[in-house]
Amino acid sequence: MVLTNLAINPERLWGELMETAAIGGTAKGGICRLTLTDLDRQVRDWFRARAEGLGLAVTVDDMGVMFARRAGQRDDVAPIGLGSHLDTQPTGGKFDGVLGVLGALEAVRILVEAGYETFAPIEVVNWTNEEGSRFAPSMTASGVFGGAFTRDFALARTDRDGATFGAALDAIGYRGAEPCGQHPLSAFFELHIEQGPLLEAEGKEIGVVTGVQGLRWYELTVTGQDAHTGATPMHLRKDALVGAARLIERVGDIARAHAPLAVGSVGMVEVKPNSRNVVPGEVFFCVDFRHPETPVIESMQQMLVASLSEICDPLGLAVTMNCIADSAPVRFDPECIAAVRHGAEASGFSTRDMVSGAGHDAAYVARVAPTAMVFVPCRGGISHNEAEFSSKEQCAAGAQVLLQAVLEYDRRLAERHGARPSP
């Protein structure tokens, strides 16, 4: 299905991206809008108002996931979902996640303005806590939706100040009645910036995402003994930071040992008591391992486990490790992928098939519904950074492909039911 009169409005989409970027905007041009904060409430309220202004019915589940529904010819058919997330990293950019929600909203707005009636209902989705920067693990709500986490596990997650996910959800007034995961979808499409350099480097306009690589997150605590830096001889110290530093270096070594596709990072470190003249007695840090194949992630984990005693025992340190997130590699639905490819071809954009290096809500949704993703380039491949940037034209191109992909999937869905959408 190619409806050339249904065209995304680039200026309007860009204007809304910039408007929402002011909610939690930073001095360096990014966004700090952590999940389930008052800033998150503000952008949720903005989204609800815009959706309801289009005549969409907004519902919220008990993980705070928002569904903005436009009715179709057959409301007894499960809706086609499209969306992403509105929460950001502490030093996030204007496009990560947000483009997927606002691009989906713009696509539905085009349908509303054209009076085009789809066969299935269409829903714009805002997932809760995709980033995981305040509450770990990431993709919490979509994980509950897809059956990877229990509701009780998610609600009990705590931030570094001890606040629980459930209490924070209640505090902003976005805990709905519908149990998360009991909201059927015929399919789900997620538009996102690539967060890597490949599309830009190869001059491709659209990434047709065929899957998401697996990831595991670990929390490690190295424990030594606080001591006076001036009065404690070097050979008698139990310096937790020395042990942590060596383990952090080992994380990089492990990833390089599984080149070229493996990656490993430490992005959070907390040192206690964090005083100039005290030998550190405890260090907490987080490890992130990723690879497209589960056996490789297993190998990386085994090497890390072996390193714990190898490094810490000679230093007289204790160490604990806990896996807090385990997202298996995902292969997206062939029919949804075909719909994305159709959408790009119909819109006249060049494409590249690719596996996502970053985790996305679509990875968990794929457990319970046919799913695919659309990528657009971001300048320099930079993301999770206030300098993150995609142009007005790139954002509009992604939303256009998203719109055409959803219409193509809706057409196929109608054919399976012996019907057809209205012209």
pTM: 0.86
- pLDDT, tens digit (0-9, with 9 covering 90-100), for 327-361: 889 999 999 999 999 999 999 999 999 999 888 99
Q: What is the rounded distance in angstroms from the CA atom of residue 302 to the CA atom of residue 321?
A: 12
Q: What is the rounded distance in angstroms from the CA atom of residue 331 to the CA atom of residue 310?
A: 37
Q: What is the rounded distance in angstroms from the CA atom of residue 84 to the CA atom of residue 80?
A: 13
Q: What b/e readout covers 134-171, taking b as 16+ CB neighbours within 10 angstroms? A: bbbbbbbbbbbbbebbeeeebbebebeeeebbbebbee
Q: Residue range 304-320: average pLDDT?
A: 98
Q: How far is CA 387 from the centre of its chain?
A: 18
* CA nearest neighbour of 354 among 371, 370, 336, 331: 331
Residue 27 CB-density burial (10 A; 0-12 exposed, 13-18 middle, 19+ buried)? exposed
E strand segments, 275-408: 278-279, 282-291, 318-327, 330-331, 351-356, 371-376
pLDDT at site 420: 65
Percent helix / strand / coil, the chain, rounded to 5 = 35, 25, 40
Query: Does the structure show a pLDDT above 70 at 311?
Result: yes
- pLDDT, tens digit (0-9, with 9 covering 90-100), for 198-243: 999 999 999 999 999 999 999 999 999 999 999 999 999 999 999 9
Q: Residue range 42-68: average pLDDT?
A: 98
**160 and 55 Cβ atoms separated by less than 8 Å:** no
pLDDT at site 243: 98
H-helix or E-strand containing 398?
helix 392-416
H-helix or E-strand containing 97?
none
Please report, in angstroms and rounded to a whole number, the separation of the first and last CA atoms in the chain. Answer: 10
Secondary structure of residue 36 in the 3-state scheme: coil
Secondary structure of residue 303 in the 3-state scheme: helix
pLDDT at site 21: 98
pLDDT at site 421: 56
Query: Within a 13 Å sphere around the CA of 286, how many CA atoms are in the beta-carbon half?
Result: 14
Query: Within a 13 Å sphere around the CA of 121, how many CA atoms are in the beta-carbon half?
Result: 21
Residue 246 CB-density burial (10 A; 0-12 exposed, 13-18 middle, 19+ buried)? middle
- pLDDT, tens digit (0-9, with 9 covering 90-100), for 254-286: 999 999 999 999 999 999 999 999 999 999 999
Place of tokens 């509701």: 151
- pLDDT, tens digit (0-9, with 9 covering 90-100), for 116-130: 999 999 999 999 999
Residue-range domains of the chain with CATH: 10-213+329-416 (3.40.630.10), 215-327 (3.30.70.360)
Q: What is the rounded distance in angstroms from the CA atom of residue 85 to the CA atom of residue 64?
A: 11
Secondary structure of residue 322 in the 3-state scheme: strand
| Alpha-carbon Rg for the chain in angstroms | 23
* CA nearest neighbour of 56 among 41, 66, 64: 66
pLDDT at site 283: 98
Secondary structure of residue 99 in the 3-state scheme: helix
Q: How far is CA 423 from the centre of its chain?
A: 35
